[in-house]
Chain A
Amino acid sequence: MNIEAAEEHLVVVSDLHLGNPASSARTRLVAFLDHVRDSGASVCINGDGFDMLQTSFRRLAADAIPVLNRLKALQADGRNIYYVVGNHDIVLEHFLEEWSLCRLSPFLNLRSGDRRIRIEHGHLYDPFFAQSPTLYEISTRLARYALFTVPDTYKVWAKAQRRLQDARHRRVGRPGPAADNGHRPLSLLGSPYHDAASMILRRGFDAVVFGHTHLAEMVTLPEGVYVNSGNWLSGAATYVEITKGELVVRTWEGSADAVTVREFRE
């Protein structure tokens, strides 16, 4: 099982949920991967790329084939494709291996520039998943029916997630003002993902990149930087670009003029 990687230019996307009726990732992703191909970067899909819990085979195939073709083109150019397993594609844990198209890993310890960066989906730190994995899977599968009936169900869920995060922020203190370099001071204590990132960062990492929450963010913790690559289901499509160890969270708006959300620079 290979968990070590070295890349000087890597693009990280997560939570594409290809095949999910609420996902609009396919069309946007095809254009995005063409842009990535021009930029010469390798690609990491950081979990929940293919949604195997909330899809039908017909839908998954329709979404996956054009994306796989773009990934194959990237690979033909000599770029590396990494796929980190998430909770909606957890069945892929049985296939952790170096495949002809991509390397399938439970997480990646990336060396880029002089930095060490952990790339991991992050579902292991979701309290619901960690405490009741069976109940979590059952409820996720049940939600599939709601999504197939009313795809906008996802928007309700996403709104609830944002409200929960806002409530957590209010409970533990409001975020302080961003510094000149875009860093936010530690003010979001209480997030299980920030706690988990802190634990990992203490093991000699400079940054941790998670997905899973669908909420793109970059937070400076005392031990290093926590980044979330967001999602491609609906709304803003976000990704993390790593160049020689420097991390930037960006929003893809359908052209090469991507908008920088936050930057992590020294």
Chain B
Amino acid sequence: MDAQRMKPPGGRAKPAGRRATGEAEIVVADGEGIVREGDVGHDMFIVQSGQVRISKRKNHGEVVLATLDRGDFFGEMSLLESLPREATARAVGETRLLVLSRGGLLFRLRRDPTFALEMLNHLSSRLRAAQARLIALEPDE
């Protein structure tokens, strides 16, 4: 795992452990960025403790999309699709994260198969919520 690649925009995250499994742990201070919208990144993150606020630029401001708690994950879209980050993630309070590289995700899916079901469950919920927002935006006929 490339420690520099994990360095957040604020730059003060510190690796707290590293494994041969493609996983690492980082601790991010309150308010520090973890990933920034538009940046290139190939890792995903699981919140071990603390919270993470996900936001997206809109006009000249920012819209908060979600606040993630322990056990939630983010960053999987860039990992799976090799596309730039869709949103910005910032720590709320001191936050500990498990960082998974692509190899790390594959390793985990083999060793911790229930994670795949949890990912599918979460992604399905997010898709349902996105569809609901889309419908809400449609003008009534």
Contact = CB atoms under 8 A, between A and B. Distances in A.
B121 A107 contact: no
A199 B114 CA distance: 11
B48 A202 contact: yes
Interface residues of A, number: 16
Contacts of B121: 1, 3
A106 interface: yes
Interface of A: 1, 3, 106-107, 109, 116, 120, 124, 195-196, 199-200, 202-205
Contacts of A109: 71, 118
B76 interface: no
Given A1-B121, A3-B121, A199-B108, A205 B114 contact: no
B23 A202 contact: yes
B117 A202 contact: no
Nearest to A4: B121
B47 interface: yes
B71 A205 contact: yes
Most central of A1, A106, A199 by chain B CB within 10 Å: A199
Given A1-B121, A3-B121, A116-B71, A203 B115 contact: yes
Contact of B48 (A3, A199, A203): A203
Nearest to B70: A204
A204 B111 contact: no
